[in-house]
Amino acid sequence: MYEPKSFDELKVNDRVSLSKTITEADGALYIAATGDFGPVHVDEVYAGATRFGRRLAPGIMVAGLCTSVLTSELVGTIGVSVEDRFWFTGPVFYGDTLTFDVWIAEQHDETRTIIWEASARNEGGLEVLKARASLKFPRRKPS
C-alpha cells in the first residue's frame, strides 16, 4: 500500500480491483473539508424531490476514491497527475458498495507517461463512474 513504484515497474494491462462501502461518515468528512454543501448531498427533503429520490454521495469524492485505489494499489506515489477525466454514469447513494476496477491502458516511454482508466460499479452491477487520466513520472536520476 502506497509503495513508491518506478515507471519501469509498470506495464500496460496491469490491473487492480477494490471494493468500498460509501458511508455517511465519508460524505460528512468530504463535505466538511471541501465546503461542498450542495443540497442534493446534505438535504434529505431537497434530495427526495429530485429524480434520485434521496441524497447522493458527492461525485468528486467518488472520483477521489478511484484515484486513491490507483495510487495505493497499482502505480504508487511517484507519478504526478496531469489530466483527469471522470464521467458520472450513475448515482451513488450512501450505503452503496462500489467496486473500483483500475488499469493501465497506455504507457509512453518517451514522455514517461501512463494513461490509466477505471470503472466503478455498485453492488447491482450498475456502472456509476468511468475515468481516463494520465500520470507523468520523473526522469531517472543520472548515475
The number of domains in the chain is: 1
- Domain with 94, as residue range(s), is 12-22+58-136
CATH code of 96's domain: 3.10.129.10
Nearest to 89 by CA among 115, 53, 126, 114: 126
Nearest to 92 by CA among 120, 56, 51, 67: 56
pLDDT digits (tens, 9 = 90+) for 110-133: 999 999 999 999 999 999 999 999
Residue 44 in any domain: the answer is: no
pTM for the model stands at 0.91
Mean of all residue pLDDT scores within the chain: 94
Residue 114 in any domain: the answer is: yes
